[in-house]
A = this chain, B = another copy of it.
Amino acid sequence: MGARGSDPSNDGAGRDAPLGRRERSRRRTLAELKAAALDEVREVGAPALALRSVARRAGMSPAGLYRYVESRDGLLTLLIADSYDDLADHLDAAIGRPPAGGGDAPPTVPDIADHDAGPATRMTAVALAYRAWAVGHPHEFGLIFGDPVPGYVAPAQGPTTTAMGRVGLALATPVIEAYEAGRLTIPPAMAATDLDEAVRPMEALAPDLPSELYLLLLTMWGRLHGQVSLEVFGHHAWLFPDGCEPLYRADVAALAADLGLEAAVDRPGARTGASTAT
């Protein structure tokens, strides 16, 4: 049933195994296919992605696609995984971490990679990077964070799950650093003791933190995500036809204040870089 081949035991990002010519060719075509599909998604959106159309774009017959892809949903799943990774790379760059995969090119110039910058500045940098990626890749953002495919559940330990972990960790890193430096104020409302268990899986990403901090990180993500999501999906267009960056910056500043991070973001000259995003 379709998508056969490709020795699964030798799949992870390039051991030095010989990787015969066939396998290389296969991966190249798959990459072309994904690129064509991504172009298509960027133009017409995910729900309108037509398998036949990406086949045309790739100069292949519709039936031929099924040698590389399980189905239309399978292709979308691949795109979702790639999008996750792309977002994670951008966020990592914003906090000065090198991209994970054997990346082709640095996704963006590291915004404020300087670990000596204040926690508020670093937190602002990731937050702005989150928004910048979303605004710059609205369809991919929708792929990841929009309506889930009805039946689909991300396989645990699958590539999307790990990439999602990278995203969460990148967002969390500045706050965790602030906590470890003793410069973070955890709001008292986060001391809900009955959530200790639920939050346990997060230890796999960042071990040995108090559970209130895990909660705080979750709510922080939600706060940023909500604003970005409303903007990207067009629910703020009637107020901010030219983009919500000012609103977002104000919210991030308020978040920094709520977290007790010093408010050094606005000092003259300390631009956080994304100020001219399209």
Contacts and interface: CB of A to CB of B under 8 A. Distances in A.
Interface of A: 44-48, 142, 145-150, 153, 156, 161, 164, 187-190, 192, 194-195, 198-199, 201-202, 215, 218-219, 221-230, 233-240, 246-247, 249-251, 253-254, 256-258, 263, 274-278
Interface of chain A, main secondary structure: helix
A234 to B, nearest CB: 5
Nearest to A199: B239
A187 B250 CA distance: 10
B147 A190 contact: no
Contacts of A226: 221-229
A243 to B, nearest CB: 10
A147 B150 contact: no
A148 B148 CA distance: 13
A240 B198 contact: yes
Contacts of A215: 247, 250
B45 A194 contact: no
A161 to B, nearest CB: 7
7 contacts: A45-B147, A145-B235, A146-B233, A189-B274, A201-B239, A215-B250, A218-B247
Contact of A147 (B147, B236, B237): B147
A195 B247 contact: yes
A195 B227 CA distance: 16
